[in-house]
Amino acid sequence: MKKVFTFIMKPKVDHLALTEISQNPGVKYIMDSSLVGLRSSIENIGRPDIILTDTNSMALLSEISDLENVEKKIILCPNEQANSEIDYIEISKIDEYINSFLNLGRSFEKIPLNFFYSMEKASVDIFIRLQKQGQSKFILRYAKNDIIELSDLTSYSEKGMVDLYVKSTDKDELYNMLSNSLCYEIGVNDSLDAMKNGLELSRSLFLESGYTPCSIQLIEELNTSLFNRLEQEASSSSEAELLQSILSSKDSLYYKKVALQMILGMDILKKEDWSMDRHFELYSFISLFADIALTDTKMGLISTDDEYDKSKFDEMDAEILENHALLAFELLANYEARPINVDLLILEHHGMKSGIGFSKNIGVGLNKIVVIFRIAENIAIEMLKKEESGKSFFMDEILDLVEKKFDSPRTRKILDQLELSI
Ligand SMILES: [Fe+2]
């Protein structure tokens, strides 16, 4: 969903002329007439793709640093004027302009193929993408209400296809349907596959739209189900076998890291004599959503200052990575039913009270749950790196690597506890 904001302090323009934008199903349209309102809209919904304003209000936008990278700023005016940095557009032409700029109605959105495994009948038109001579062509594969054969999807997957496509304007409807069906599969059938897909879907929903009834519903289902489900898996084999099967699976990196840090951290937490039910709920939530603001799952493998300095993300991604704890905190601030203080714990999950950057210290002055999370997360990261490099390893090596990353007696004490259990 594309976001279009209007910010006009003392409206002289005819707002009614903009109502067509608000009716557009591919656009989330917000109108503000004060900086406080605009800041709160950005906090709740995220940065807009387009901001419409007038000449008098334009100067005030510079007070909001989040707006510096907005793709398009447009000044509404009676007549078009030429300007190299800002577009001046007649109000009567604005809807047509936005449609063409955002490519609405013609653009397609990528949806992970595995989201469709639980769908028996296509809820919207579904396309596959063919690429020829550098050009993309979208072919209708399932029209709305067509039956989707699971064998077709597995055959696509075997051929290396990872995504299907829907029209941008259908994406919200699809996500609503998927979210409801995944919540049902998780809540009623306790399906681990639905939990994996639910985790991916909740990330997509957050990155695009922040907190919505769909994303909240999924979070709550996942927070009450995933750890219990992993414990069941461990009881039918052993914890070591479960860790190994997660590492070597074809699941997404995000899910693998969440599952590993959840199992490892809960193990430590169970041995703490102060731990109670609410601590397990907090820990589960941190494991699931601390990294929700990361735009590339590979960013989740960075957890220290050194690793950040050596990483090779472009400027924009590096900024997101550096600020992701703060971004997650800000997203959570709007979720009223969150476990108490989980937003503050997520803010400091890389050891910085500001939520910006990465601390070398394991946790001076940090909540004990955060310290446990930091250790479990780093063990998970080192295991994932070894697995990715194809090298076999012993758990002792991993624990030594983590100890070296965070040289403090507290780290060793927690690692010793863990060594006893694995
Ligand atoms: Fe993180």
pLDDT single digits (tens) 17-60: 566 666 665 677 788 888 888 888 888 777 888 888 877 777 78
Report the separation in Å between the CA atom of 34 and the middle of ligand 1, taken as the mean of its atom positions: 33
Instruction: State which amino acid sits at residue 346.
Output: I
Cα of 321 to ligand 1 centre, how many Å?
8
The confidence score (pLDDT) of residue 256 equals 95
Residue 301 pLDDT greater than 60, yes or no: yes
Residue with the bigger pLDDT between 32 and 66: it is 32
* Among the ranges given (11-20, 331-340, 354-363), the one the predictor scored with the smallest mean pLDDT: 11-20
Handedness of CA 334, 340, 344, 346 (dihedral sign): negative
Per residue in 220-268, pLDDT (tens digit) is 889 889 999 998 888 888 888 889 999 999 888 999 999 999 999 998 8
How does the average pLDDT of the chain come out, rounded? 83
Q: How far is the CA of 257 from the centre of ligand 1 (A)?
A: 11
Question: pLDDT value at position 352?
Answer: 92
H-run or E-run covering 227? helix 213-236
Whether 402 and 415 have beta carbons less than 8 Å apart is answered as yes
Q: Under DSSP, is residue 140 helix (H, G, I), strand (E, B) or coil?
A: strand
Please state the φ and ψ torsions of residue 46, each to the nearest 5 degrees. 105, 175
- In this predicted structure, what is the pLDDT of residue 103? 59
Greater confidence, 280 or 332?
280
The CA 324 to ligand 1 mean position distance, Å, reads 7
> Any bridge partners for residue 46, and if so which?
none
**Mean pLDDT over residues 74-94, rounded?**
63
At 259 the pLDDT is 95
How far, in Å, is the centroid of ligand 1 from the Cα of 211?
19
Q: Give me the phi and psi of 122, to 5 degrees please.
A: -65, 125
CB contact burial 375-388 (16+ within 10 A = b; e otherwise): bbbbbbbbbbebbe
CA of 283 to the centre of ligand 1 (A): 14
Q: What is the percentage of the chain residues whose pLDDT exceeds 70?
A: 85
Using the mean position of ligand 1's atoms as its centre, give its distance from the Cα of residue 325 in Å.
6
Checking if the pLDDT of 207 tops 60, the result is yes
pLDDT at 41: 85
Residue 264 alpha carbon to ligand 1 centre in Å? 16
pLDDT (0 to 100) of residue 264: 93
Ligand 1 center–CA 6 separation, angstroms: 33
CATH of domain 2-102: 3.40.50.2300
What spacing in Å lies between the alpha carbon of 39 and ligand 1's midpoint?
Answer: 25
In this structure, the dihedral spanned by the alpha carbons of residues 104, 108, 114 and 117, taken in order and rounded to 10 degrees, is: 80
CB atoms under 10 Å from CB of 23, counted, come to 9
What confidence tier does 12 reach under pLDDT thresholds 50, 70, 90?
low
Question: Would you give the DSSP letter of residue 360?
Answer: S
Residue 422 has pLDDT above 70, yes or no: no
Band (374; pLDDT cuts 50, 70, 90) = very high
Cα(358) to centroid(ligand 1), Å: 9
With cut-offs at 50, 70 and 90, classify the pLDDT of residue 63: confident
Confirm if 343 and 332 have CB atoms less than 8 A apart: yes
Q: Judge contact between 108 and 127, C-beta under 8 A.
A: yes
Of 365, 382, 356, nearest to 261 by C-alpha is 382
| Sequence-ordered list of residues with C-beta below 8 angstroms from that of 156, at least 6 positions apart, any chain | 113, 128, 164
- Residue 265's pLDDT is 92
Q: What integer pLDDT is reported at residue 381 of this predicted model?
A: 95
CA of 394 to the centre of ligand 1 (A): 25
Please give the angle made by the CA atoms of 272, 276 and 277, to the nearest 5 degrees: 135
Ligand 1 geometric centre to CA of 46 (Å): 19
Whole-number pLDDT of residue 14: 57
Gap from CA of 357 to ligand 1 centroid (Å):
10
Taking the centre of ligand 1 as the mean of its atom positions, its distance from the CA of residue 42, in whole angstroms, is 22
Homologous superfamily of the 237-421 domain (CATH) = Hypothetical protein af1432 (1.10.3210.10)
Centre of ligand 1 to C-alpha 300, Å, is 6
Considering the chain, tell me which residue range(s) the CATH 1.10.3210.10 domain(s) occupy: 237-421
Predicted local distance difference test score (pLDDT) of residue 337: 82
CA distance 26 to 20: 12
pLDDT at site 59: 78
Q: Compute the distance between CA of residue 136 and CA of residue 162 in angstroms, rounded to an integer.
A: 16
- Cα 405 to chain centroid distance, Å, stands at 27
Where does residue 178 rank: exposed (0-12), middle (13-18), buried (19+ CB within 10 A)?
Answer: buried
Quickly state the pLDDT bin for 84 (edges 50, 70, 90): very low
pTM confidence score: 0.69
Residues of the chain with CATH 3.40.50.2300: 2-102
Burial letters 221-239, b for 16+ CB under 10 A, else e: bbbebbbebbeebeeeeeb
CA of 280 to the centre of ligand 1 (A): 19
The rounded Å distance from CA 375 to ligand 1 centre is 12
What are the φ/ψ torsions at residue 39 (nearest 5 degrees)? -60, -45
Ligand 1: distance of its center to the CA of 292 in Å? Answer: 8
